[in-house]
Structure 1
Amino acid sequence: MAESVGAVVIGAGAVGLACARALARRGIETVVVEAHTAIGQETSSRNSEVIHAGLYYPAGSLKARLCVAGRQLLYRFCADYGVAHQRCGKLIVATSAAQVGELEAIRAKAEANGVTDLRQLTAAEAQALEPALYCHGALLSPSTGIIDSHGLMLALLGDAERQGASLALGSPVIEGWASRDGLTLTVGQGGDAMELAPRLVINAAGLYAPRVASRLTGYGAEHLPPVHFAKGNYYSLSGRAPFSRLIYPVPEPGGLGVHLTLDLGGQARFGPDVEWLPDQGVAADPATFDYRVDPARAERFYGEVRRYWPDLPDHALAPAYSGVRPKINGPDQPAADFSLQGPETHGIPGLLHLYGIESPGLTSCLALAELACERLGLEQGVAPAGATQ
């Protein structure tokens, strides 16, 4: 017999843990199932750890709305729960006269998204803030910050558990059945596998989300999104950087360019670049991804970084780490929005898939969790009829 439970969240990254917390705070018995033996082993811990302000995304998009709302929620959460963070600000820099006009376009897009604190700076004003910087002009984003992503996930998990949620590590979803009559999941490995019969399922498996969805009998394959993956490589700087703020060039196709970010200890790192992985569709197994960073790719970084930091020394960049973004658009297509696919699309009550949750997913995690609950018909503090309390 399958064990009845109020909700199952698949994936213990930042978004999955935020969803579990949101469900548990509504009084719903919630189990988080995670294939790995620790939380946040993929995209959530292999990124720039930046709290984004919400500058670049199309007005009205989920990325724009959830980034702006999520940033405010995240700063409040960090203050309330003691998560290490710093509102350090960032400069978006035009490294040629031709790019100055792009800064104005970014500012207009940001204002349409509700970001009203940007300041346009001349080159002299930007260099007065960061003397080592070279630019023709810049935008100052004071709301941008950095965060300890693992500390965030531990705080999310801790609060979810205080509300009654539980975490099952080493528990991949092996298969499942989904219909209008209910949901059943088989999770675990070998003899430790168990069957769960949740009223609600949120698939927040990140890189694995389409693969997990494809294992649900009764969920039509026509509802699976396009599946692409883009690897981003990071390089660390030997020695201390002469910057106190994050430095971003204007965006490039597929990402935000090779930018300089700082960790909470002041150490600088550069990246990510955009390295599209071979397309394998839903058959791709993220467990086989090669996260090694090729030292030779740093050669391109030097040229990119020297556009805004001409004094970057030779041989100063060392391979640091890489991450992979779950994409639902290909390399020659416009960037896709977040996709929250619920019963209105696939017809299965209580089932919600989160697809394409890349940047700004970390910033948006708390707002994403609230929207996920809303899409499942949950109001604040109210459990659905029949959900296990």
Structure 2
Amino acid sequence: MNLHLHQSTIHQTNAIQITGSKSESNRLLLLQALYPEIKINNISNSDDSVLMAKALASKDTVIDIHHAGTAMRFLTAYFSTQEGKTIELTGSKRMKERPIAILVDALNQLGADITYKENQGFPPLLITGKKLTKHKVTLKANVSSQYISALLLVASKLENGLELTLEGDITSVPYIKMTLSLLEEIGTKTKFQDNVITIYPQQQLADKTQQLTVESDWSSASYFYSIVAMSAIGTTISLSSYKQNSLQGDSALATIYNAFGVTTTFKNNTVVLQKTEATSPDTKINFDLKNAPDIAQTISVTAFGLGLECHLTGLHTLKIKETDRLVALKTEIEKLGGQVAITDNSLTLKKAINWHQNVTIASYNDHRMAMAFAPLALKVPIIIEDLKVVSKSYPTFWDDLAALGFIFSV
């Protein structure tokens, strides 16, 4: 079902409550499966987290996680440690095209029993849970941080813990640090020195009443940064619940969007976004997003909407997401009248002269494509294909846009 977003003007002052971080929620759900005494507050209502929780509670021998890439990685590691349990872990057609050999090879090196049901290196997987006693493994450091986090999350339950060596330049460090911080929050001893991460074994929690609260999702906040950036000076949106010392890499938005004339103020558990100055047409947006690649779509669309040149790097992991996000961005922005050049690691946007109206934006089964392009309705009427795709991470997204003053029809 398509959504027609009519050219809109938002209310000057608004407040939005955003669901818990999908990244934090999925990590804590896995830790809760390992340590059932953990209680989680403000858990994400995203499809991915619902699927993760359902899979962890399932007694079935076939687990289908659909499009949930994080769940595929985390559950591969989890089920490999569940002694005596054999699981087929599968997903959507796109999931079967997303590589997982790096993680499977690492787990098999630790003694796991994982084989491929169809194509070598790709889901579906047949996983027979075992007691893993080996504790040393090496990965290339520029792989998806989800592979690394999957190993770290199960490591404390391994008999001898884990010593993970990362070779080269590490990608998405904040996501690795998020995982380590959450492990430390439940009392697990960790060490991250040079390129070696050590997780020490911990069979039981010292604190039997662990209450952990998930911070709201910064990736979801990015769309409101884009809305404020494309709105009139003085426009303000308050988002909750957020921490100034966030574990999430996408909290870099607070600094990045200064380039678009948006200031960020933290007040208690709320973050206040305000458009404080117009963006000069000569502004050139230039960021390395290797630590926060999930906000690349939002930033590039914001730059396009404001008619700015934009060059983003550190994007090599975008090619193995729900879609090849670099190709998708190029295709959709060019349909709107932009000019985009991409490499395996970068996106360059030329200054836009005008925008084509009533263009249908393909979502590619990718929630972030739909949400990143929606703010352009502040500039021109557009059509978003497959409006329900946002439920993967942000089920109430369209309701929240309506509350801001966006006008749309199905």
- What range describes the TM-score normalised by the shorter chain of this pair? under 0.3
The alignment's TM-score, normalised by the length of structure 2, stands at 0.24
Could you say which structure has the greater relative contact order, defined with CA pairs below 8 angstroms and 6 or more residues apart? 1
The alignment's TM-score, normalised by the length of structure 1, stands at 0.25
| Structure with a larger share of its residues in helix | 2
| Structure with a larger share of its residues in strand | 1
